[in-house]
Amino acid sequence: MPVFFDVTAYLIQARDLLRPASISAYTVAEGDHHRKVHDYNAGVTEAKRIHRTRRTEEYYQVLNLPARDLSGEKVLSIGPRNVLELYVAWLYGFSWSNITGIDLYSTNPKITEMNMEAMTFQNELFDAVAMSSTLAYAEDIQAALSEVYRVLKPGGRFAFGQTHVPDQTEWPGNRFDGQDVKGMLDDIGFRVFFYEPHTKINSLGQLQTSHMFGVVKPTESQGQSDLLSP
C-alpha cells in the first residue's frame, strides 16, 4: 500500500540521516571518471536524504520471474545510493540477511564501498543482481556487465536498466543503445528472458530511451538452446 510504504520507507531511511554528511570526505573511487561519478551521486544523496521513489520495484518484479520463494537467494544491489532499494528487495521476498548493496560511497552498514567494474566478491556468490539506473556511470560498460556475470551463480538472474541519450556526452554509458548492450550480453554469455524499452523526452529536452533487461547466466544443462534470445 502506498501510504504504508511511504511511512515505513521514511522510518528506515531516517536512521541514516546523518551518514550522508561524511560521504564526500572518503571514496574508493580511483581515477578522474570514477571520482566524478562519486561526486555527482554523493551530491544528489546529500541534497535529498529521504526518498519515496518506487522505481526500483520493476527490477525486483523481473528478478521474481518465474515466481518462486526468494528467501533463500542471495541478492546484490549495485548503486542503490541509500537503504531504500534494499528495503524494496526485502519487500519482494529476499531475506534481509541475504541482501547486499555496493556503491562508491556508503550511507548504510549494508552498503559496501566498491567499484562495480572491479568487484572484490568471490566468483558465483549471488543468485540475483539488480542494477537500477547505474550502468550509464560505468567507465567500461562491458567490464561492469562481465563482473556481474562473474559473481552470479549459474542459473542466476540479473535485472538492469540502460539509458541511451544520444545527445548526452557527460556519462560514457549513455552512448550505447539497446542493440549495443544486447551484443555485449551475448558476447559475455548472458541470455535475455525479459526486455522492455521506454522512450521519452527527458527534463533537458533530449530524446532518451530506457532499456530494461532481464538476463540469466545459463547453467551447463540449460546450454544455449532453451532460453529466449531475441
* CA neighbor of 77 nearest in space, from 123, 126, 38, 117: 126
Bond into 230 cis (ω within 30): no
Burial of 82 per CB tally in 10 Å (0-12, 13-18, 19+): buried
The answer to pTM > 0.75 is yes
Tell me the C-alpha to C-alpha distance, in Å, between residue 128 and each of 10, 121, 124, 229.
26, 14, 10, 19
Tell me the C-alpha to C-alpha distance, in Å, between residue 111 and each of 86, 134, 162, 229.
9, 15, 22, 33
pLDDT of residue 125: 98
In the chain, where the domains are located: 2-216
Sign of CA dihedral 45, 51, 55, 61: positive
pLDDT of residue 143: 96
pLDDT of residue 179: 94
Answer yes or no: are the C-beta atoms of 76 and 103 closer than 8 Å. no
State in words which class domain 2-216 has. Answer: alpha beta
pLDDT of residue 22: 64
The Cα 178–Cα 131 span in angstroms is: 16
Residues of the chain with pLDDT under 50: 228-230
Report pLDDT digits (tens) over 58-111: 999 999 999 999 999 999 999 998 899 999 999 999 999 999 999 999 889 999
H-helix or E-strand containing 215?
Answer: strand 207-216
The Cα 172–Cα 135 span in angstroms is: 10
pLDDT of residue 230: 38
